[in-house]
Amino acid sequence: MTARELLALSSAEAASRSAAPQVSSPRMADASDLIPRVLDLMNRNALRIPPYPAVAVRLRRVIARGEYGIGELERIAGEDQSLAATLLRYANSAVYRRVTPTSTLGAAIMRIGASEVARIALALSVGGFAVEGGTLARVRCRVWRQALLAALCCRALAYWRQTDAEEAYVCGLLHDFGRLVAISGFEDVMGRTHDKRVLSEACWADAAEQVHLKIGLLTAQRWNLSPLLCSVIANHHTPERSGSYRSMVDIVAAADKLVDALDKEPHPSANDLMKAAHLRVDEAEYMMGILSTVAASVSAIDETTAVPEVEAVPATSQVARPPSALAPPHKPVELKVSLLRSSGNVACQGTYLSREGLAFVGKIKIRENSMIRIAVETPKQTLDVWAVVACCEPEGEANRIEAKLFAVAPELQTAWAQLFASV
């Protein structure tokens, strides 16, 4: 079924939701009043939807053909100077930190590998829309990080289930793209009406969730996506409706649940993943084994697509900030922390600790909701962990950064708990 047909089928349901009374308090405690306005933009063909990345599509087609040379891939990628530059940065990122830096696009493609080049090209091209500045940049970056995680989890699950892993990656990356377009729509509406409301990240995300299916299907129609991708976009919350595409939609639905579980639990177990995403024991154990690799891939893309430092924390943000993004209790510490980056490690100073993460101060700005790798020097050992930047804001001449641990391995989990108890 095409995107147009699925969009028509969903119109009645979406219309009934948008037609329901939308009540907004005088203090604008939510974004419900913006939803009909964004849908109106969509109906008038005025909603900003980025073009589908033509170069990334050509790379995928050439690689799928099976007969190509590095020179052909280099010529195609080189047509987009921004893509070529980001592929070079990715080839020199932390994913390949143990090899000699490369300075040519051809060498970068050889290092990354053809299939990985196609995946990264799509992520970098589409991701440009996700990480651009804006009053809701923090929310958009969270949605994009979740999309990257979903894509990588989809690819891994598809491989384990002996399904097309490359197709699964694309499905995972694009299945919730409607959320990003919706967030951009909110920014557009508020910009036109000079609306300065400030809401929590959860409020904005909830509003986008309410319209993401219909907007996602419109995006699929504009991009002329395949019936499989259209079904994934339409049915990833209701896999039982997906018919002949059920196996792929099941993978995307499971990845969605995995990403949600990883966002909530910094110290997951295989049993946690099994319950959250209804995985088999072997699948949950396999996913646990690759989570550090998944984090490294997301971190490399985040670092590759980093915005200029002056834009890392928009002054005009309309996303409310809690006093701390880390759950209490907090314990003051004096620990040496290194932010591990391909461009060079950055020395920072740890200031307080929680069970789920760490705050540190450093002369660097980092995009919120991006994935980072940090080394924390403790009296007994150095803990090398992955984390998500939950907060980055000025503090004196430096910045205070709160990092929430991501998928900490069992042995590191024990060490972190001992560190917390010892303070």
pLDDT, tens only, 25-80: 334 579 999 999 999 999 999 999 988 888 888 898 899 888 889 999 999 999 88
Q: Could you count the other beta carbons within 10 Å of the beta carbon of residue 327? A: 12
Per DSSP, the three-state class of 163 is: coil
Cα→Cα distances 421→94, 244, 265, 413, Å? 31, 52, 19, 12
Letter string b/e over residues 272-297, b meaning 16 or more CB atoms within 10 A of that residue's CB: bbbebbebeeebbebbbebbbebbbb
Closest Cα to residue 265, out of 279, 254, 276?
Answer: 276
The CA distance from 327 to 118, in Å, is: 39
- Distance of alpha carbon 343 from alpha carbon 94, whole angstroms: 9
Consecutive 10-residue runs of the chain (423 residues): their mean pLDDT? 60 44 49 95 91 86 88 92 85 74 90 90 85 90 95 97 94 95 96 95 96 94 92 96 96 97 94 96 97 92 67 68 93 96 90 97 93 95 96 93 95 93 93
3-class state of residue 201 by DSSP: helix
38 touches 182 (CB < 8 A): yes
Look up residue 302 and give its amino acid: D
Number of neighbouring beta carbons within 10 Å of residue 319? 21
- Residue 53 phi/psi, 5-degree rounding, is -65, 105
3-state helix vs strand vs coil in the chain, percent to 5: 55, 15, 30
List the structure tokens of 110: 């050889």
CB 199 within 8 A of CB 30: yes
Q: Is the pTM of this model over 0.85?
A: yes
- Spatial contact of 155 and 116, defined as CB atoms under 8 Å apart: no
Query: At which residue do the structure tokens 């909830």 appear?
Result: 206
HSE (CB half, 13 Å, CA atoms) of 54?
Answer: 5
Residue tagged 């990833």 (tokens): 236
Q: Which CATH architecture has domain 54-311?
A: Orthogonal Bundle (1.10)
CA distance 280 to 271: 10
* DSSP assigned state of 309: G
Question: What pLDDT is attached to residue 263?
Answer: 94
- Residues constituting the chain: 423
Report yes or no: 321 and 313 within 8 Å, Cβ to Cβ: no
Single out the residue of 360, 307, 315, 356 nearest to residue 333, CA to CA. Answer: 360
Residue type for position 126 = V
Beta-carbon-side half-sphere exposure of residue 10 (alpha carbons within 13 Å): 25
The label of the residue with tokens 């196609």 reads: 118
The CATH topology of domain 331-422 is Thrombin, subunit H (2.40.10)
Intervals of CATH 1.10.3210.10 along the chain: 54-311
Quote the CA–CA distance of 274 and 85 in Å, as a whole number: 39
pLDDT of residue 8: 61
What is the C-alpha separation between 226 and 222, in angstroms, rounded?
Answer: 11
Give the span between the Cα atoms of 175 and 232, in whole angstroms: 6
d(CA 191, CA 188): 5
- Ranges in the chain annotated CATH 2.40.10.220: 331-422
Backbone φ and ψ for 378, nearest 5 degrees, come out as -110, 170
Q: Is 247 exposed, middle or buried (0-12, 13-18, 19+ CB in 10 A)?
A: middle
Q: Count, in order, helices (H) and strands (E) of the chain.
A: 16, 6
CA angle 63, 65, 67 (to 5 degrees): 80
CA-based diameter of the chain, in Å?
62
